[in-house]
Structure 1
């Protein structure tokens, strides 16, 4: 199982590349869609990491994929300058996926 990063930050991409995570740097909604399609098509990709700004840019598509696909898991990560905490994102994801408030 591989991770795949969809980021709008070269710094984030380089940092995660050093940890062995492949990915792409994009900025437009069409590029995000293409990157999501690429990750879904790759049977080895089990987790897609997407920065919060890009996730919000294609919010409806990301939500739809999370609700309908069992693979890959799509997880939002904070990007440079984003507000909020990772815990909030995880809590929101669990609430959307399971339907309970934790």
Structure 2
């Protein structure tokens, strides 16, 4: 059975652990890269959700490599600090997934 894990900051990791999710804390890009590599090499990880702040701190070449991987699936999570508009976040995910910009209206 494959696991779902989260790679995030220390404050958010506590909440995920309380919800029963395996959460790993990281504070630097180099530490995150090593952690992600170790999760990938284990072979039992199916999905890795990574905080967008952490993901954006990684170099572009490595992010592209993660995006092209079939397993585990890498999911970017919006960061609490950004105060991002939910609608624009969903539009951005859709554009990335299907290659088209879809404007959502009420």
Instruction: Give the TM-score range, shorter chain.
Output: 0.7 to 0.9
Determine the structure 2 residue equivalent to 1:73.
Answer: 73
Q: How many residue pairs are counted as aligned between the two chains? A: 100
Greater CA deviation, 78-87 or 24-33? 78-87
What is the aligned-residue RMSD (CA, Å)? 2.1
- Provide Cα deviations, 1:45-81, integer angstroms capped at 9, x if missing partner: 1111111111110151223211x21111111112231
TM-score of the aligned structures, taking structure 1 as reference length: 0.79
**Are the counterparts in 2 of residues 55 and 76 from structure 1 also a CA contact under 8 Å?**
yes
Unaligned runs of 5+ in 2: none
Unaligned runs of 5+ in 1: none
**Larger RCO: Structure 1 or Structure 2 (Cα < 8 Å, ≥ 6 residues apart)?**
1
Q: Secondary structure at the match of 1:101?
A: coil
Question: How much does 1:6 deviate?
Answer: 1.0
